[in-house]
Amino acid sequence: MPVSQRESEVRGGLPGPRGWLIYAVAWTPVVLLYALATRNHADLPFIYLLLSAIVVIGAAAVGGVLVWMATTRLESLPWQRLLPLHLGLAALYALGWTAVQAGWIWLVGGSTIARAVMRVAGIWQSFTGLWIYALIVGVAYLVRTAERLRERELAATRAELAAMRARLDVVRSQLNPHFLFNSLHSLSALIPRDPALAGEAVERLGELLRYALEYRVADLVRLEDELDFAENYLELEALRFGDRLGYEIGVEPEARRVLVPPFILQPLIENSIRHGLAPRPGGGMVRIYGRLSGRELEVGVEDDGTGIGDAGLGLGLDGVRTLLEVHYGSAARFEAGPAPTGGFSVAIVVPAQREEATDAGSK
């Protein structure tokens, strides 16, 4: 995988353009404070003092870049070698900065003034250089430690996303053959009895397969699209069951625009038909409902069958649970149990993520 510009900058130990700007801005107050501090010791216009501060503090800032680079190159060394090296570099930095200040004063004020200033302030200047060196090294280590932690968090997030995609691929690899097998079983039972209806069923199956191939389980689709898919599946099953299977879809218009993971309704419907209605000679009714409640969408499937739909809590419904867990985590709820009609009910509650202006989730 190619290394991004930001990653290469961090590995090289140097900040990018934004980092350089922050670095320059951070030194600006120091320049002003230095100019104000020297105002009490030099009877010169402030513009000259400011220029002197820019030269002296600018030298400290430029030297700080070299310190930053050295810190990057040395940080992999054991502390037994690192500490003496930093002490030596700190001394060089302090002496070099003091020499720059002495040279500047010599240039603008002459040798006599330069020697006098160094006698009074040379030691203080050197200790200040040591303090600045330690500050730059500390900030450099803090910044790179933060960058490494951020990179670790990013790597963990990438690994989590990869694991999520892998789980979704497993779910899809299970749901699609499972659904296709059951659909083909319905067709095979219908062909010898009513070839014309079987032809209609093939068209329905084509619509179902188009939907199954068009969307991945990692996508989000409008609930309305999922309802169309569910209705096609119910119509396909109705061709096999005849009058023994009735269904009703009662979903609020606003709820239809909410985005949901695909393939969350068909396993619930299949569970109701297979375990709740098929065993009954008279069949029964499957009802799909959906409504908004505040910031949540509740959608579910219930039947008036035998009430033993929990016997079918296997591959299909486990797949639905996995989809909800991956997409919503603990924010989703999956509730299964007896229906008010005496049959079995499965309800799903998820955060109501509404469709944006673009129809990203539509067919």
Residue 319's contacts (CB-CB under 8 Å, 6 or more residues apart) are 171, 174, 175, 263, 267
Answer whether residue 12 shows pLDDT above 50.
Answer: no
Summarize pLDDT for 32-45 with one digit per residue, the tens: 777 777 666 556 66
Same domain, 142 and 249: no
Answer whether residue 292 shows pLDDT above 90.
Answer: yes
- Pick from 24, 80, 86: which is nearest to 57 by CA? 24
Summarize pLDDT for 41-82 with one digit per residue, the tens: 556 666 767 777 788 787 888 887 888 888 877 777 787 787
Using pLDDT thresholds of 50, 70 and 90, give the confidence band for residue 260: very high
**What pLDDT shows up at residue 152?**
81
* Mean pLDDT across 226-241: 85
* Total length of the chain: 363
Of 137, 157, 177, the one marking the end of a domain is: 157
What value does the mean pLDDT of the chain take?
77
> Domain span at residue 75?
5-157
* Mean pLDDT across 145-153: 83
Summarize pLDDT for 87-98 with one digit per residue, the tens: 888 888 888 878
- 70 within domain boundaries: yes
Same domain, 151 and 196: no
Distance of CA 272 to the CA centre of its chain: 36
Summarize pLDDT for 300-310 with one digit per residue, the tens: 999 988 876 54
Residue 82 neighbours by CB distance under 10 Å: 14
Of 134, 157, 180, the one marking the end of a domain is: 157
- 175 within domain boundaries: no
Secondary structure class of 169 (helix, strand, coil): helix
Same domain, 108 and 15: yes
Q: Report which of residues 295 and 94 the model is more confident about.
A: 295
Q: Counting Cβ atoms within 10 Å, is residue 9 exposed (0-12), middle (13-18) or buried (19+)? A: middle
On whether the CB atoms of residues 285 and 303 are closer than 8 A, the answer is yes
Answer whether residue 358 shows pLDDT above 80.
Answer: no
pTM above 0.75, yes or no: no
**What pLDDT shows up at residue 257?**
92
Same domain, 139 and 199: no
**What pLDDT shows up at residue 43?**
63
* Mean pLDDT across 153-161: 68
- Identify the CATH number of the domain in which residue 234 sits: 3.30.565.10
Same domain, 114 and 251: no
Using pLDDT thresholds of 50, 70 and 90, give the confidence band for residue 349: very high
- 186 within domain boundaries: no
- The single residue listed with the structure tokens 């105002």 is 39
Same domain, 230 and 343: yes
Same domain, 144 and 250: no
- The count of structural domains within the chain is 2
Answer whether residue 148 shows pLDDT above 60.
Answer: yes
The CA-based dihedral angle spanning residues 114, 118, 124, 129, taken in that order and rounded to the nearest 10 degrees: 60
Secondary structure class of 348 (helix, strand, coil): strand
Using pLDDT thresholds of 50, 70 and 90, give the confidence band for residue 288: very high
- 183 within domain boundaries: no
**What pLDDT shows up at residue 97?**
77
Bin 247: left if φ > 0, else alpha if -120 < ψ < 50, else beta.
beta
**What pLDDT shows up at residue 7?**
41
Q: What is the DSSP letter of 285?
A: E
Answer whether residue 269 shows pLDDT above 50.
Answer: yes
Q: Counting Cβ atoms within 10 Å, is residue 146 exposed (0-12), middle (13-18) or buried (19+)? A: exposed
Q: Report which of residues 120 and 251 the model is more confident about.
A: 251
Using pLDDT thresholds of 50, 70 and 90, give the confidence band for residue 312: very low
Q: Counting Cβ atoms within 10 Å, is residue 257 exposed (0-12), middle (13-18) or buried (19+)? A: middle
Backbone angles phi, psi at 292, to 5 degrees: -95, 140
Same domain, 142 and 206: no
